[in-house]
Structure 1
Amino acid sequence: MSERSTALLEQPGEPGRLPPSGGGARARRRLSLPIGLVRTARPRQWIKNVLVGAAPAAAGELVSRQTALQLALVFMLFTAAASAVYLINDALDAEADRAHPLKRLRPVARGDVPVPVACTAGVLLAAASTASAAVLCNAMTAVLLTAYVVMQIAYCVRLKHVLVVDLAIVTTGFLMRAVVGGVALSIPLSRWFLITTGFGALFMVAAKRYSEAVETEGSDGATRALLTSYTTGYLRFVWQLAAGAAVLGYCLWALESGGTADGSLLPWRQLSMIAFILAVLRYAVFADRGAAGAPEDVVLRDRPLAVIGLAWLAIYAMAVADL
């Protein structure tokens, strides 16, 4: 028997099988870095950035092709900025994530993406998104994106450990998503739009924290260190208060028009209150159960909530079109 055959027989593994070729392993290693970078950018979270279309949709400005293209550009720029924050966050938290039962599987914590690479990619992506906004949109859009990135990095470094401020920062991030679409398209922002969006975001953020606190209640180690400083009673109060304020703001905005518009068959704007309130009540079911820890899963997987959302979109479209 040749030396090569003897060496192959001595390799550990299943009997009669040759070890995997070195070429395939090298190819997998080469792909692990770009795949890891994409996973670190959190593609599942990109759905949050559709909020950039909230202001143009509320103003009925989504009818032209140019507006749609500009809005698609803003969506991509904000997605790039948010992805940059995720990359930098995972680079900063790599050591702590390795001790976490779930976060240790993140590409940076697992070693698929080196910490310097994740940090460098995040910085370059943040710089590219803000610079592109200044060139392709307007100066205020670039300012908002820069402020978002700086605020979120400050949150990752320090502010996520400060009571109440952490809720305010995450809520402001959602609100900035909604505002930037209007700013990029030079659309005036209604005070009711800002109130409803802001408190709606606080409702979802507080419900998420409440769900996380319920899941970790009674355990020695919380998934988020600050959760041990909050009580479930306090977080419940916050999401209930925010839900009430969001509903009140929306209803006052809907009633402000004072009735049917010229040529409208029904008071669509006022009727949209029904769908909006039902959506808040449906989402509150998951918040109350402590099952709203992943808002994107609730929104995408709950069929009754999806039906209510589609009904609201249809009614609101009628209001915008004055049908």
Structure 2
Amino acid sequence: MTETAPLTNAARPGETTLPELRTPPGQSAAGARERTALALLGGLLRTTRPKQWVKNSLVVAAPAAAGQLFSRHALTQVALVFVLFTACAAAVYLINDARDAEADRAHPTKCRRPVAAGVVPVPVAYGVGGTLAVLAPAVAVWLTPPFVPALLAAYVGMQLAYCVSLKHVLVVDLVVVTTGFLMRAVIGGVALGIPLSRWFLITTGFVALFMVSAKRYSEAVQMAGKAGATRALLTEYTTGYLRFVWQLAAGVAVLAYCMWALEEGGVPQESVLPWRQLSMIAFILAILRYAVFADRGTAGEPEEVVLGDRALALIGLAWLTMYGLAVANW
């Protein structure tokens, strides 16, 4: 009778042998540490919401409107401001997710966020977020004009206040998010010392309010009958009120943009066509097209609406082309 050597780490009935036990102990430990580090880095990156970084491209708006975007100094400053603003926004997301980790774990979709899922420990999220919140304005002090770090610090402070309490205050929550968009558009001009047109500020502010209130309206429509399933504050708004806000904002934005387009009146001698005036058509079409999604209650994420609808993307490209030609006086 042949004697069989006893099996080590044999699987009991109903169990499976762990793959790690079949690899050398040193390699297994090193591999586990590497996978943990990669998972942590990936979780931190996902927590900073890379899809939302497209919003920070608004920093080019003021320099582009003034036709001062394409010098080496301007490009360097705008790129730096973009990175710093992205760092500040990332800090806010990290701190917000760390603070809301317990609540997010009870949410059907937010429970998959890295902090709520345990991929990123809460202390790590707080630590990285706090570091970015301090480091970005500090770097701006050395590399940008004085008002840039002030704006960055104000943005971080305002957004953290929003995370803690302001997001629970009616109307104020809309104002804070809208102001965040406006600050993105302003900071590029501040970094280059460009005077900001009043119509530029009004148009940017009310386009932002239009998109923010359309998003809230869409959330309210989709959560009808499921009170408390998403933002608690939505139970305080009515869909009629939110519809009124995005319609009002759209109207003011169109009016302000038309005032900008007609501000100079005539056509510059070196310009082939009145591009400023013609760009009003594309701008109004873009607002009307976006309003279709708002009316349906499907304008949840602005970047997904703009990039996901081919017609809206083409209208936006046409507007961008005419806007650029108007700035260049071509």
**Is the TM-score greater than 0.5?**
yes
Q: CA deviation at 1:33?
A: 1.2
Mapping 1:235-254, distance limit 5 Å: 235-254=242-261
Mapping 1:133-152, distance limit 5 Å: 133-152=140-159
Q: Which residue of the partner structure matches residue 87 of structure 1?
A: 94
Q: Supply the distance in 2 between the matched residues of 1:34 and 1:321 (Cα, whole angstroms).
A: 43
Q: Supply the distance in 2 between the matched residues of 1:35 and 1:11 (Cα, whole angstroms).
A: 36
**2:192 aligned residue (177, 185, 202):** 185
**1:35 aligned residue (34, 42, 57):** 42
**1:199 aligned residue (168, 193, 206):** 206
Q: Which residue of the partner structure matches residue 5 of structure 2?
A: 2
Deviation track 1:197-226 (CA, whole Å, cap 9, x = no partner) reads 000000000000000101101113331000
Q: CA deviation at 1:31?
A: 1.6
Instruction: Give the aligned residue type for 1:63.
Output: F
Provide the alpha-carbon RMSD of the alignment.
1.4
Q: CA deviation at 1:28?
A: 2.1
Q: Supply the distance in 2 between the matched residues of 1:186 and 1:165 (Cα, whole angstroms).
A: 30
Q: Which residue of the partner structure matches residue 312 of structure 1?
A: 319
**1:271 aligned residue (278, 281, 284):** 278
Q: Supply the distance in 2 between the matched residues of 1:199 and 1:247 (Cα, whole angstroms).
A: 9
Q: Which residue of the partner structure matches residue 19 of structure 1?
A: 19
1:52 aligns with 2:54: no
Instruction: Give the aligned residue type for 1:107.
Output: P
Q: Supply the distance in 2 between the matched residues of 1:206 and 1:169 (Cα, whole angstroms).
A: 12
1:288 aligns with 2:290: no
Deviation track 1:69-123 (CA, whole Å, cap 9, x = no partner) reads 1110110000000000000100111111011000000011011111111011111
Deviation track 1:255-300 (CA, whole Å, cap 9, x = no partner) reads 1111211121111100000010011111111111110111111111
Contact kept, 8 Å, 1:11 with 1:19, in 2: the verdict is no
Instruction: Give the aligned residue type for 1:132.
Output: V
Shift in CA distance, 89/274, structure 1 to aligned 2, threshold 3 Å = same
Contact kept, 8 Å, 2:178 with 2:212, in 1: the verdict is yes
88-97 or 217-226, which moves further after superposition? 217-226
Q: Supply the distance in 2 between the matched residues of 1:55 and 1:74 (Cα, whole angstroms).
A: 13
Contact kept, 8 Å, 2:105 with 2:116, in 1: the verdict is yes
Q: CA deviation at 1:254?
A: 0.4
Q: CA deviation at 1:27?
A: 2.9
217-226 or 22-31, which moves further after superposition? 22-31
1:220 aligns with 2:227: yes
Q: Supply the distance in 2 between the matched residues of 1:130 and 1:244 (Cα, whole angstroms).
A: 36
Instruction: Give the aligned residue type for 1:62.
Output: L
Mapping 1:87-106, distance limit 5 Å: 87-106=94-113
Contact kept, 8 Å, 2:46 with 2:114, in 1: the verdict is yes
Q: Which residue of the partner structure matches residue 63 of structure 1?
A: 70
